[in-house]
């Protein structure tokens, strides 16, 4: 097979992207669709699903709160109906969680962050794995982590704790599923351009009592390349991880972040 052909995923993949109607998830869904995959997304935002489905005919979607096990079960009913099986799970769902000193954080904010960022990974992986084991198309599971899953992150402890947990889940599943030919990797995005990052910067600036512009520059100063990454950068990495060129990559934790040096 020519080298350039190994860098693209096979065109008949059946792909599920959680939180797939906005931001990084939507970029990944569109990228796989453009590569010829059959793509289903789930999202908590009904209007975002409708916009994605209308703008990209062929993508299908389910409304779901990924932190609710019953909703995850319903998504897999739709996946089987629309796709007939599954070759790739992109476990992308996540929230920023609360910002502040740990003694000021309330229990509900902690629990919601754990529920969305970690429990959802479990709910979808447990349902996806039997389908991935049955796939003969080099099945893959990709967990979306964060640079906060390899670095400490003061004032964002709920978020960092869940993203470190995602790394542990990824590496454990890679060992567990490798003998069945299922590859499991994590992508750790860094500072990603967009509305969500704008909100994170504003919240952290408020917590520290500094100007938002100064806070934004502080984020850039921590990145070796001195620039944010885009959702498309993350999507390109997901495509590569599902391509023949990555057939021996599993248990890997890949930062897409311009090399964030510290947080």
Q: Is 211 exposed, middle or buried (0-12, 13-18, 19+ CB in 10 A)?
A: exposed
Measured CA to CA, the distance from residue 99 to residue 222 in angstroms comes to 19
Paired tokens of 194: 């967009």
pTM score of the predicted model: 0.94
Q: Which domains does the chain have, with CATH numbers?
A: 3-191+230-256 (3.40.50.720)
Q: Which two tokens stand for residue 127?
A: 């349902």
Residues 6+ apart with CB under 8 A from 35: 8, 9, 11, 13, 239
For residue 27, name the pLDDT band (cuts at 50, 70, 90): very high
Segment 136-192, tens digit of pLDDT: 999 999 999 999 999 999 999 999 999 999 999 999 999 999 999 999 999 999 999
The pLDDT of residue 3 is above 80: no
Considering the chain, what percentage of its residues have pLDDT values greater than 90?
91
In Å, the largest CA–CA distance within the chain is: 57
Residues 6+ apart with CB under 8 A from 59: 29, 30, 33, 39, 40, 41, 52, 53
How confident is the model at residue 225, as a pLDDT? 97
Q: How confident is the model at residue 196 (pLDDT cuts 50, 70, 90)?
A: confident
């Amino acid at each position: 097979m020519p080298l350039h052909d190994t860098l693209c995923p096979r065109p008949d993949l059946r792909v599920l992207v959680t939180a797939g109607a906005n931001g990084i998830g939507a970029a990944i869904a569109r990228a796989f669709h453009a590569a010829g995959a059959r793509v289903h997304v789930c999202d908590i935002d009904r209007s975002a699903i409708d916009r994605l489905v209308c703008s990209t005919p062929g993508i299908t979607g389910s409304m779901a709160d990924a932190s609710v096990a019953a909703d995850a079960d319903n998504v897999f009913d739709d996946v089987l109906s629309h796709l007939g099986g599954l070759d790739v799970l992109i476990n992308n769902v996540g929230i920023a969680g609360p910002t502040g000193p740990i003694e000021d954080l309330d229990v509900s904010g902690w629990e919601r962050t754990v529920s969305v960022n970690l429990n959802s990974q479990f709910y979808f992986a447990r349902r996806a794995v039997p389908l991935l084991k049955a796939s003969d198309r080099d099945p893959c599971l990709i967990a979306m982590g964060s640079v906060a899953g390899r670095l400490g992150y003061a004032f964002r402890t709920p978020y960092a704790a869940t993203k470190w947990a995602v790394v542990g889940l990824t590496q454990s599943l890679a060992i567990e599923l490798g003998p069945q030919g299922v590859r499991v990797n994590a992508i750790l995005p860094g500072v990603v351009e967009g509305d969500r990052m704008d909100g994170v910067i504003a919240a952290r600036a408020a917590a520290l009592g500094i100007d938002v512009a100064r806070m934004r520059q502080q984020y850039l100063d921590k990145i070796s390349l001195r620039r944010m990454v885009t959702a498309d950068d993350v999507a390109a990495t997901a495509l590569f991880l599902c391509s023949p060129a990555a057939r021996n990559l599993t248990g890997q934790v890949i930062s897409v972040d311009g090399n964030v040096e510290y947080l």
